[in-house]
């Protein structure tokens, strides 16, 4: 019996070429090969052009921490090449820098500021008309106002008072209003609803009011109190029935089932 000889790779390729030469005309073979090359090249280009899913984007949050987000860049969706703008749009509002947010808030209209003041007043149980009268006297609705003594923002908070109230940026209208309204309410509670004493303390400090036993004999403070009270009690300014609402006491009771219940009624 004769010995079998295994064909080599070169023999196999040569055989295939022989089959092609006899089965297909030379021109048809060239056309097929050209088409195959075009399809192969097109597939490679298409694959490279596809956007990668789940790209890792690096951004810096409002606390200065670098955060890596698994998201698609807006520049890929919109076809823009402005990387800086795309990154800014990618970051949600809660992660934008304080400077960006503060800049947007400083450009609010007076109507928008008045709405924010109204909401802060209602939140802390003060008459919105009183809060608006104080703002008008303090800054005339200018969120970027700074006094000669360093008081800042809509309700003119000095840095020490702002810090004690937890206000990080006194030029941020939301923070300033919330802190200023809380401060005014605290003074009203301290002086048992005496509006003139509370306003005098807001302007000159509680120490001056306590030492004087009332509105201190400072021209600025007396004019300040007069200006706000005249504005607040002026007919047609939208004043409500009361300057403020006292906080109700919380009572602890036990119902008939033995459950502990806390109520302010």
Q: Which CATH architecture has domain 109-232?
A: Orthogonal Bundle (1.10)
Instruction: Tell me the two tokens of residue 174.
Output: 């939301």
Global confidence as pTM: 0.57
3-class SS of residue 54: coil
User: Rounded to whole angstroms, how far apart are CA atoms 152 and 138?
Assistant: 9
Does the CA dihedral 152-158-164-165 come out positive or negative? negative
pLDDT tier at 11 (50, 70, 90 boundaries)?
low
Q: How many C-beta neighbours within 10 Å does residue 193 have? A: 13
Q: Pick the closest to residue 200 from 227, 171, 177, 222 (CA basis).
A: 222
Any catalytic annotation for residue 138?
yes
Tens of pLDDT, residues 48-89: 444 444 445 444 455 555 455 554 444 443 343 333 333 333
Q: What is the mean pLDDT of the chain?
A: 74
Choosing from 18, 122, 138, 256, the catalytic residue is 138
Tens of pLDDT, residues 128-147: 999 999 999 999 999 999 99
Instruction: Tell me the two tokens of residue 83.
Output: 């990387």
Q: Confirm if 51 and 72 have CB atoms less than 8 A apart.
A: yes
Pick left, alpha or beta for residue 156 (phi over 0 → left; psi -120 to 50 → alpha; otherwise beta): left
């Amino acid at each position: 019996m004769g010995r079998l000889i295994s064909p080599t790779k070169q023999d196999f390729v040569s055989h295939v070429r022989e089959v092609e030469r006899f089965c297909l005309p030379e021109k048809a073979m060239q056309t097929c090969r050209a088409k195959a090359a075009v399809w192969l090249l097109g597939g490679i280009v298409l694959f490279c052009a596809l956007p990668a899913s789940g790209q890792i984007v690096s951004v810096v949050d409002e606390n200065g921490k670098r955060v890596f987000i698994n998201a698609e860049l807006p520049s890929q969706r919109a076809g823009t090449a402005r990387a800086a703008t795309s990154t800014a749009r990618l970051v949600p509002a809660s992660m934008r820098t304080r400077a960006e947010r503060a800049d947007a808030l400083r450009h609010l209209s007076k109507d928008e500021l008045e709405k924010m003041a109204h909401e802060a007043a209602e939140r802390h149980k003060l008459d919105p008309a009183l809060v608006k009268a104080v703002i008008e006297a303090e800054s005339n609705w200018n969120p970027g106002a700074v006094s000669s003594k360093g008081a800042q923002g809509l309700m003119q908070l000095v840095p020490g008072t702002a810090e004690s109230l937890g206000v990080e940026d006194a030029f941020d209208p939301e923070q300033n209003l919330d802190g200023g309204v809380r401060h005014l309410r605290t003074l009203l509670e301290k002086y048992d609803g005496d509006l003139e004493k509370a306003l005098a303390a807001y302007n000159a400090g509680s120490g001056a009011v306590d030492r004087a036993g009332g509105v201190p004999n400072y021209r600025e403070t007396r004019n300040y109190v007069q200006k706000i009270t005249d504005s607040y009690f002026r007919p047609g300014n939208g004043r409500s029935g009361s300057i403020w609402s006292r906080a109700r006491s919380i009572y602890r009771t036990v119902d008939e089932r033995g459950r502990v219940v806390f109520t302010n009624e």
